[in-house]
Structure 1
Amino acid sequence: MAELKNRKALENRYDFVYVFDVKDGNPNGDPDAGNLPRVDAETGQGIVTDVCLKRKVRNFVELTKNEQDKDNFKIYIKEKAVLGKFHIEAFENLNIKLGEEIRKEIPDDLKDELENYVLPEGMYTENEPCEECDGEKRENPEGMGIKTENEKQFLVVASNANKEAIKNYIKELKPTKKLSEFLNKIVKDARPRTPTSEETDKGKSWMCENFYDIRAFGAVMSLKSVPNCGQVRGPIQFTFARSVDPIVISEHSITRMAVATEKEAKEQSGDNRTMGRKSTVPYGLYVAYGFVSAPLAKQTGFTEDDLELFWEALINMFENDRSAARGLMSARKLYVFKHRDKLGNAPADKLFDLVKLKIRKNDAATVARNFSDYNLPQKEEIEKGIKKVLAEYSRTGAQRKEEEIEKVLDENIITLEEKI
């Protein structure tokens, strides 16, 4: 992680409150409920998941970092990504070989048939000069066979090849019995190996260095079908966002002035209309809570520069994520509590209450339909509240006062004797 060592490490714990709203849109559809906006069935509050918010942060980072910065700001979890390729890339860059490649000479009677196929990833042909000719060795990484006189042809299975994927490909290929036996034999003889714990740690460090979302949010990279890069617990975590008040879900019928097929057009006698439905929230003000851990940031290499990019993403991520389904979504307030040190000097719940308990609907607004219908606490109010919190709670490291801990335990612990 050499390139990240020169960047300033986090020296403080942070807690934050993120306030955003939606107007005439669906902020986060629930696939288990016909993509309706997510809602708490008991309270009626709207919900936006932490995964949804992280997705928007990832999209913003990928959009804003230019090609020069891409090496350290790649995104691991993105649309249509094949995660295993990133793991293989990590070990290739670290010059760690996970097994030995297998090479077998292609029999003469199979060369013509093999030339008709494009081989799967991880399997390719290679031409090697025989003793009688002077040409250089040539490779064919795309997998297309090359028939050359006075050259031997070999079929190669790479050390990092996915054996199961190749086996499935051979089944789909449906070659002749003899070719099928030859291909399956070489795949069976391939011996890729799993990385050692030391190599896994190196792979994990490489992934953290190169992928922003891994060093920010963490990732489970102990996948069975690809080289193991371990697990990373990210320094940044979100709660679900909840709306301040219960939301109403409005359903709208919509019409498309076209059909998909000729058959549909004939059935409608040329009217060519398709009916559909769209679900929206007329208005909702949502609040999410988040945490930034300095000790975990040290483990992943997450720096002050990375944190600044994260704040920037929260403020601007809706501006480049517009769609008809999401309506008008806007970031409204970001309250950031910076602690004195890495472990913090006040409990997060007390700090969050300074914001949460002061968000109120205006007296004149019986039904909220705009951000202006709410009153949010100002910085001066929160600063006064912080002083009270700090006066009430003293922190040694990350622990509350001993008497406060004892009070909490006395109020909440039920002994086994009492329970029985």
Structure 2
Amino acid sequence: MNNNEILYLYDAKMTNPNGDPDEENRPRMDYERDINLVSDLRLKRYVRDYLLDKGYDLFVRKMDEKSVTAEGRVKQMKDFSEEAILNELIDVRLFGATMPVKGDNKTFIGPVQFNWGYSLNKVELLESSITSHFSSDEKAQQGTIGKDYRVKYSLIAFSGVVSGKRAKKTKLTESDLELLDESMKHAIPNLATRSKIGQYPRLYLRVAYKDSETILGDLRDYIRLEEKVENIRDIKEVSLDITDLVSLLNKNKSKIDKIYYFIDERLEIKMADTVGKLSEVLNGFELVEVK
């Protein structure tokens, strides 16, 4: 297993990408810059939920629809050996885990890690009141009134790294990474809830290197969003300039094995001021399209 780096974009329209419990569940924001934020844990949860729905067992999961502590989850495991943990639990192979048990704590550092996501555009929040049909107690005659917070439009970008050296320690396989690719494409739209509906993946790149040393850096630094209108509300109202990203990849072409990708056809890609297809601007690389 060698190093990989990931670039992932999805958008959110009239939804709450990641509520902050300390802020009445408002979408997480950098208010100084009007930038929408999404934690890496939120993204990993999408992946875990998708894998669980596909029938894979996980360490971080609910049991019988109830939340359990790490200690409680360990007690439910029939075999607590390292071999059994890594063979049976794909989320430990991907993201690692800390398993606290008296006299036998186990810590696995996950090879797959993401930075916090942030929006490439400035984001406006929508606040509205919602009324429940159920009263807060049996004596009340009317339903309760609460607040509902959503972003009007946010194009969110994540970067990630797969450590080849740590992958060996958690027994991460190429098949596991292909499942991660699949999850990144399908998890968010397939597992939508009331607060999350309106989110769609737009771009995914996993750059697989030929060694376990190469890291080029945060790939978000090499893309630029161009807004066709003020106050964008739809993916068709932007272009993504990847000129610098393609230049970076070309300079390091000898280090790159393959590029795994998907792109939404509605996302316009620009290269040196020319609109084109992603597969065309990356035609010098071995490309694997994620299905």
Per the normalisation by structure 1, the TM-score is 0.56
Deviations 1:236-277 (A, max 9, x none): 000000001221121101223442444112xxxxxx343221
2:58 maps to amino acid: I
SS at match of 1:348: coil
Q: What's 1:361 paired with?
A: 227
Among 375, 387, 409, which residue is 2:250 paired with?
A: 387
C-alpha RMSD of the superposition: 2.4
- Mapped to 2, the partners of 1:367 and 1:87 lie a distance apart of 48
Tell me if 1:331 matches 2:201: yes
Among 20, 28, 33, which residue is 1:30 paired with?
A: 20
Among 36, 57, 61, which residue is 1:78 paired with?
A: 61
- Mapped to 1, the partners of 2:111 and 2:31 lie a distance apart of 31
Aligned residues: 252
Structure 2 vs 1, CA of residues 309 and 37 (structure 1 numbering), >3 Å: closer, same or farther? same
Structure 1 residue 228 displacement after superposition: 2.2
Deviations 1:339-361 (A, max 9, x none): 122222x5224x4433x2x3222
- Mapped to 2, the partners of 1:30 and 1:82 lie a distance apart of 21
Q: What's 1:239 paired with?
A: 115
Structure 2 vs 1, CA of residues 317 and 262 (structure 1 numbering), >3 Å: closer, same or farther? same
Q: What's 1:93 paired with?
A: 79
Instruction: Calculate percent identity across the aligned residue pairs.
Output: 27
- Mapped to 2, the partners of 1:367 and 1:89 lie a distance apart of 50
Among 75, 92, 95, which residue is 1:217 paired with?
A: 95
SS at match of 2:140: helix
Q: What's 2:83 paired with?
A: 205
Q: Please tell me whether Structure 1 or Structure 2 has the larger radius of gyration of its CA atoms.
A: 1
Q: What's 1:159 paired with?
A: none
Tell me if 1:373 matches 2:237: yes
Tell me if 1:51 matches 2:37: no
- Greater per-residue strand proportion: 2
Contact 1:243 1:285 (8 Å CA) reproduced: yes
Contact 2:96 2:111 (8 Å CA) reproduced: yes
Q: What's 2:139 paired with?
A: 263
- Mapped to 2, the partners of 1:52 and 1:24 lie a distance apart of 18
SS at match of 1:84: helix
SS at match of 1:93: coil
Aligned pairs for 1:4-403 within 5 A: 10=1, 12-65=2-55, 73-79=56-62, 80-88=67-75, 93=79, 203-221=81-99, 223=100, 226=102, 228-265=104-141, 272-344=142-214, 347-349=216-218, 351-354=219-222, 356=223, 358-362=224-228, 365-377=229-241, 382-388=245-251
- Mapped to 2, the partners of 1:237 and 1:262 lie a distance apart of 47
- Mapped to 1, the partners of 2:68 and 2:213 lie a distance apart of 36
Per the normalisation by structure 2, the TM-score is 0.78
- Mapped to 2, the partners of 1:387 and 1:313 lie a distance apart of 28
Structure 1 residue 312 displacement after superposition: 0.5
Deviations 1:82-137 (A, max 9, x none): 433543465x537xxxxxxxxxxxxxxxxxxxxxxxxxxxxxxxxxxxxxxxxxxx
Structure 1 residue 208 displacement after superposition: 1.8
Structure 2 vs 1, CA of residues 390 and 36 (structure 1 numbering), >3 Å: closer, same or farther? same
> Once structures 1 and 2 are overlaid, which stretch shifts more, 28-37 or 369-378?
369-378
Structure 2: 5+ residue stretches without partners: 257-291
- Mapped to 2, the partners of 1:273 and 1:233 lie a distance apart of 47
Structure 1 residue 227 displacement after superposition: 5.5
- Mapped to 1, the partners of 2:106 and 2:134 lie a distance apart of 50
Structure 1: 5+ residue stretches without partners: 1-9, 66-72, 95-202, 266-271, 396-420
Structure 2 vs 1, CA of residues 375 and 260 (structure 1 numbering), >3 Å: closer, same or farther? same
Structure 1 residue 382 displacement after superposition: 4.3
Structure 1 residue 322 displacement after superposition: 1.3
- Mapped to 2, the partners of 1:327 and 1:25 lie a distance apart of 6
- Mapped to 1, the partners of 2:134 and 2:108 lie a distance apart of 49
Structure 1 residue 369 displacement after superposition: 0.4
- Mapped to 1, the partners of 2:168 and 2:138 lie a distance apart of 61
